[in-house]
Amino acid sequence: MFMSLVKLHSITEKRRELQQTLKLLASLIRSEAGCLESGLYQQVGDETVFLLISTWQSRVALDDHLQSSRFSVLLGTRCLLRRPLEVAIHAMETFTGFRTPNLERSTTDP
């Protein structure tokens, strides 16, 4: 599984326009072959920063997306940004049975 993260810093006056474009894109990306999920998030404390996250079944599916017209629309938002968009791609491994550490304090702890 692969994850793409796109961070966008909007010009303050263009925030709503960028947000509307990204909302539409996130929903359209969900319908692409190989897309497992896609979501748009806004940074707490700075409403001009957005994060578009999508997960993909394979690198081929992600690469197809990166060559798609939808990704071109994302690149076309440059005029709404105060700095260049940032793209990160991560290979992910899924597993089950994850155990959390025992967070209970020992009776000998002060």
pLDDT in tens, the chain (110 residues): 999 999 999 999 999 999 999 999 999 999 999 999 999 999 999 999 999 999 999 999 999 999 998 899 899 999 999 999 999 999 988 767 767 666 665 555 55
Enumerate the domain spans of the chain.
2-91
Where in 10-85 does DSSP place strands (E)?
35-42, 49-56
Please state the φ and ψ torsions of residue 53, each to the nearest 5 degrees.
-120, 135
Q: What is the CATH number of domain 2-91?
A: 3.30.70.100
